[in-house]
Structure 1
Amino acid sequence: MPPTAPPRTAPRRPPRPAVLLAVVSLALALASAGCGTPPELRRPAPAPTATAGVSAGPTTPATATVPPVPVPPSPAVPSPTAGTDLVAAACREGPSGDRVITLLRGSADVLPRAVGVRVRTGPLCAGDWQYTVLQVTGHEELQVVTRGRPGALELVTAGTDVCTIEVRVAGPTGIRTLACDAVPGGVPGA
């Protein structure tokens, strides 16, 4: 028996544009069939209302519809008080630089009395907090964060890095920016 040649297959033709268009349209229709508002976000259908007419028999009492549960408002973002917390600026009614130095040499016991100290920056106020940079003879610059009125000034922190947890959490934005983001001894706002 002579060997038989493999059957010839017809050459493949590219799909016709009409068929290709139909396939793509069908795919898009199927893909978008699942789109729409999810059931949990859809508004409930209004309850059926009674229609006027003659009733054939006794009526059952209508079931009360449950009013929608009010959604609690989202927590409000605290607004700054007249913008005094956003930016630290030269203190108008705050302590003087000498008052900050007196605090550090007195009850805070941070600076010895014999060392020379000069105010380099500040005090700058934001809210009732203050930021001051001091030049201390023979030492690195000292950053100081205080709060309160000049007569009742309280030391929050002092050192070369004053970005403490208390400053980050409780300090006004203007003080946090200076204490945590600024270059020590740099010009504020520059």
Structure 2
Amino acid sequence: MPPLTKLRVGMTAVVLSALAGCGVPPELAPPPGTQVPVPSATPPVSAPFPPGYTPRATGPTTTPSAVATPFPEFSSVSCNGKPTGDQVLALVKRETNISPSKPITQPVCAGTWHFTVLEVPNREPLQVLSKSEPTGLHLMAVGTDVCTVDVRRQAPTGILLAASC
């Protein structure tokens, strides 16, 4: 027998012996008489956006809403005046005994949360986290470090990044 033929016969034997061992191992085979479920032919439908992302409306909304459409949650973007720095300043003055003088940065938004830095005379800058809710603007955290455990658990990723949490 020529060497090339011996090689073909040998390779065929190896392939056939490998294929002979294929199949379900006995310990994983279903008991006799059991029907094995067959997967459906249609693939599962996946969401068009990653979890936690809420797209902004692209056109005017037809129904009025107490809360503006939330911003993306994975990055912070300018709030475009919803809320303004002066509204956050008024919120801090109303809810605390701190007297900031003016906004250093305008609010940035992620989801329904906002991050703003305010100037306080003769003090360090004040970080402010607020949130838009149907009842209005709510103060979530205020101080030189707003990265509390509750903030880390509840705030969207974009706000955590903006506040350096």
Aligned residues: CA RMSD = 3.6
Instruction: Measure how far apart 1:78 and its partner are.
Output: 2.1
Question: 5+ residue gaps in structure 1?
Answer: 1-35, 48-62, 182-190
Residue 44 to residue 157, structure 1, CA distance change in 2 (3 Å): same
The separation in 2 between residues aligned to 1:117 and 1:150, in whole angstroms, is 28
Q: How does 1:19-98 map to 2 (within 5 A)?
A: 44=29, 64-67=33-36, 78-82=51-55, 84-92=72-80, 94-98=82-86
Aligned residues: 121
Q: Percent identity?
A: 37
Structure of greater Rg: 1
Residue-by-residue CA offset, 1:108-162 (whole Å, 9 max, x unaligned):
12424xxx51211121111110000011111111000000159710000000110
1:168 partnered with 2:159: no
Residue-by-residue CA offset, 1:63-110 (whole Å, 9 max, x unaligned):
631535x9xx9xx9724112711111110252111111111111x124
Instruction: Measure how far apart 1:179 and its partner are.
Output: 1.9
Instruction: Say which structure, 1 or 2, has more relative contact order (CA 8 Å, 6+ apart).
Output: 2
Residue 79 to residue 138, structure 1, CA distance change in 2 (3 Å): closer
1:104 maps to amino acid: V
Residue-by-residue CA offset, 1:37-84 (whole Å, 9 max, x unaligned):
9959x8638x8xxxxxxxxxxxxxxx631535x9xx9xx972411271
TM-score calculated relative to the size of structure 2: 0.60
Contact kept? 1:143, 1:160, Cα under 8 Å: yes
Q: How does 1:98-117 map to 2 (within 5 A)?
A: 98-106=86-94, 108-112=95-99, 117=101
Question: 5+ residue gaps in structure 2?
Answer: 1-21, 56-70
4+ residue runs over 6 A deviation: none
